[in-house]
Structure 1
Amino acid sequence: MNEEWQCIGCGVHIQTSEPDQLGYTPKAAFERGVESGELYCQRCFRLRHYNDIQDVSLTDDDFLRLLNEIGTEDALIVNVVDIFDFNGSLIPGLHRFVGDNPVLLVGNKLDVLPKSLKPSKMIQWMRERAHEEGLRPIDVKLTSAKKASDIESLLETIETYRKGRDVYVVGVTNVGKSTLINQIIRQTAGVKEVITTSRFPGTTLDKIEIPLEDGHFLIDTPGIIHRHQMAHYLGKKDLKIIAPQKEIKPKTYQLNAEQTLFLGGLARFDYIQGERSSFTVYTANDLDLHRTKLEKATAFYEKHVGGLLQPPRPDEVAEFPELVRFEFSIKERTDIVFAGLGWITVTNPGVVAGWAPKGVDVIKRKALI
């Protein structure tokens, strides 16, 4: 691809080979654009014609450059995270890059959480986890990008804290940031005025600026790929299976010691030691769970992964990482969290182990529900 071609919307170099990367445009659209003199990347084209923002991902270096630039601005930072995958959707070291700018922490996908989880408890929990990461948000807000009333409430909160400044929306990929921004565009006056721009010198960062009524902007930034996200290892169809679309319906199992639960072929939970007890699984409703004996679990996995145990499916993933084991001694009611997949609540004392693809975290936390 000739590097001299640039998108007239955002300035990014046009390429026709990698749909998930910056500057992509289909070959036919590229040829039409060159002919007409109106050459847009697909992201800008969809924004102009459909008011639709597509998420794109940046390299870590590009993203660090973007964060450093934001730190020199006087702005409100809106950090969108996925409530369902809080740890997997935090931006490492964000507090070091934002300077003195206030951060509003927004937990998206509220609609998929079980009704039994009180929002006030979730907000308090998010605040505590943010503090552990060195982030001191000015406020914590829960929202669902699918609900117009939630977006209105979020916009009011942003208005309260921005105090006449620009607003930068940041987040890792797969947190639903694009859906959120698209809803904001639909609800914000002057939809036709939406422009695409790249104001960062020496780089082709694909930013979207949404005009606010006072001449300032709400600025959407591309998502950074988080290496520890389960989504990083899956194809699009498998992603739909593990990403909850509706309220999660918890599934409870009575397990004896030395029994194993498989979460599709993506993760594994071993009950190693303890009295017969109940374990509640919080994952997407479409994800199949399988119970087997601990002593046979490894052989069972090797035989059935990609078949009975799926996702991952062979036609979606060329090579799925091996599962790595994390062991935990449980003293109180505890969640074992599989980053990006969900969690299992352990009610009684005992010893358990969680397995996840190499690079994906399994952690324990005090039970949320």
Structure 2
Amino acid sequence: MITETEVQALLNDDLRCIGCGALIQTTDKTALGYTPMSALIKGFDQEEVLCQRCFRLRHYNEIQPVDLTDDDFRRLLEQISETDALVVYVMDVFDFSGSLIPGLHRFVGDNPILLVGNKVDVLPHSINRAKIRDWMRQQANIAGLRPIDVLLTSGKNGDDVPALMTAIEKYRQNRSVYVVGVTNVGKSTLINQIIKDVTGDRKEVITTSRFPGTTLDRIEIPLDETTNIIDTPGIIHQDQMAHYLASKDLKFVSPQKEIKPRTYQLNEAQTLFFGALGRFDYLKGPKSGITAYFENNVPLHRTKLSNADHFYQQHAGKLLTPPVQENLSLLPPLRRYEFKIAEKSDVVIDGLGWLTVPGNVVIAVWAPQGVSVLTRKAMI
């Protein structure tokens, strides 16, 4: 068994939490990296050196707040532009706009970007992967990015990780690799799959959860004697749907299984609610099938457009959940977006889901203020 003196020597040598990257310390309970000395000694014996925050998150699914600001996260990333490295930019295929990092070019400098769309396992199998990649590249170009390649992965099941590692080896050219992304895109889950693929160790290393902002400092995983894969903290993007929900409601916007489409035959002046998180108004067009792609447990409710405002006011947080009543105040007011749809299209509420609508119709979509709503050519 390791002694307290030996542990103290390791603490003096910048010992870091394997879960979030924070420096381990045993003195300040309110600061990052705190863990009691007794727990730290036990952790060494069990080969699991975690701060108290990561221990509680991993074993009890409890989250403790941290005092890191957006500027703190950005300062940790600015060092990337000063290095010669490959940047792997992980985005959530289910929440593309919410996955964009504002001013990414300032962080990466002249380094090449490999764009990775994660969580592809939750998308219906009927969606052609080439269409998803093409759409991601188009959206990246609009945002001013020119990725050297676009790949799709599932950090959860790891099926695509060998192909991702092949691409990383191709493009890194013996350089280190920085993995960047906003919070909640599954970046740390993907890193754990990479570790398993490289080392054959099936144990999860980096702390993962649905809670935004789990990784707090850079975590280095050796690739060889001179280069590393570096997992960086997730940039907090306040436009993400996840930031407006309490822990018990997060599961409704973080699909864990393949999304099953739900189709409704709608006439003009009918409305669909997606819990209390959003709304779809069919304003003009013939009776049509409207297909909804949301997390399978999000309840959908149909009503008349003329009654929709009253229905929402009366039932939000009760019949219309998530969020539940006590967490409804966290949700910004719904904002209305109207579209004239010329051809079959998807109308996307970032981080929540999308609806496929026919051409030659007029619709309105409501989403929490700050959450992006956009249209794209139908994926299916």
Using the size of structure 1 for normalisation, the TM-score is 0.85
Partner of 2:23: 11
Partner of 1:313: 324
Mapped contact 1:237–1:316 kept (Cα < 8 A): no
Per-residue deviation at 1:44? 7.2
Partner of 2:298: 287
Partners of 2:56 and 2:276 lie apart in 1 by 36
Partners of 1:257 and 1:195 lie apart in 2 by 52
Mapped contact 2:100–2:182 kept (Cα < 8 A): yes
Partner of 2:6: none
Query: Could you give the per-residue CA deviations for residues 143-173 of structure 1, whole angstroms, max 9, x where no partner exists?
Result: 1112333112211111111110010001111
Mapped contact 1:328–1:351 kept (Cα < 8 A): yes
Partners of 2:307 and 2:128 lie apart in 1 by 39
Compared with structure 1, are the counterparts of its residues 149 and 363 closer, same or farther at alpha carbon in structure 2 (3 Å cutoff)? Answer: closer
Note the 1:1-369 alignment, pairs <5 A: 8-9=15-16, 10-11=22-23, 16=29, 23=32, 25=34, 29-30=35-36, 32=38, 41-42=51-52, 58-189=68-199, 206-316=217-327, 318-369=329-380
Per-residue deviation at 1:46? 9.2
Unaligned runs of 5+ in 1: 197-203
Compared with structure 1, are the counterparts of its residues 44 and 342 closer, same or farther at alpha carbon in structure 2 (3 Å cutoff)? Answer: closer
- AA at the equivalent of 2:23: G
Partners of 2:271 and 2:130 lie apart in 1 by 33
- AA at the equivalent of 1:113: L
- AA at the equivalent of 1:23: L
Structure 1 window deviating more from structure 2 (122-131 vs 269-278): it is 269-278
Partner of 2:5: none
What SS does the aligned partner of 1:179 have?
Answer: helix
- Identical positions, percent: 55
What SS does the aligned partner of 1:224 have?
Answer: coil
Partner of 1:201: none
Per-residue deviation at 1:317? 5.2
Compared with structure 1, are the counterparts of its residues 317 and 179 closer, same or farther at alpha carbon in structure 2 (3 Å cutoff)? Answer: farther
What SS does the aligned partner of 1:241 have?
Answer: coil
Partners of 2:335 and 2:270 lie apart in 1 by 18
What SS does the aligned partner of 1:148 have?
Answer: coil
- AA at the equivalent of 2:309: T
- AA at the equivalent of 2:98: G
Per-residue deviation at 1:295? 0.8
- AA at the equivalent of 1:211: P
Alignment RMSD (CA, Å): 3.2
Mapped contact 2:161–2:194 kept (Cα < 8 A): yes
Query: Could you give the per-residue CA deviations for residues 29-49 of structure 1, whole angstroms, max 9, x where no partner exists?
Result: 43636999x9963467799x9
Per-residue deviation at 1:242? 2.3
Mapped contact 2:78–2:106 kept (Cα < 8 A): no
Mapped contact 1:334–1:347 kept (Cα < 8 A): yes
Per-residue deviation at 1:222? 1.0
What SS does the aligned partner of 2:379 have?
Answer: coil
Query: Could you give the per-residue CA deviations for residues 202-231 of structure 1, whole angstroms, max 9, x where no partner exists?
Result: xx9611100112421000011111111111
Query: Could you give the per-residue CA deviations for residues 231-253 of structure 1, whole angstroms, max 9, x where no partner exists?
Result: 11112221112221111111111
Partners of 2:163 and 2:65 lie apart in 1 by 26
Partners of 1:226 and 1:67 lie apart in 2 by 15
Compared with structure 1, are the counterparts of its residues 46 and 179 closer, same or farther at alpha carbon in structure 2 (3 Å cutoff)? Answer: farther
What SS does the aligned partner of 1:153 have?
Answer: helix
Partners of 1:345 and 1:13 lie apart in 2 by 51
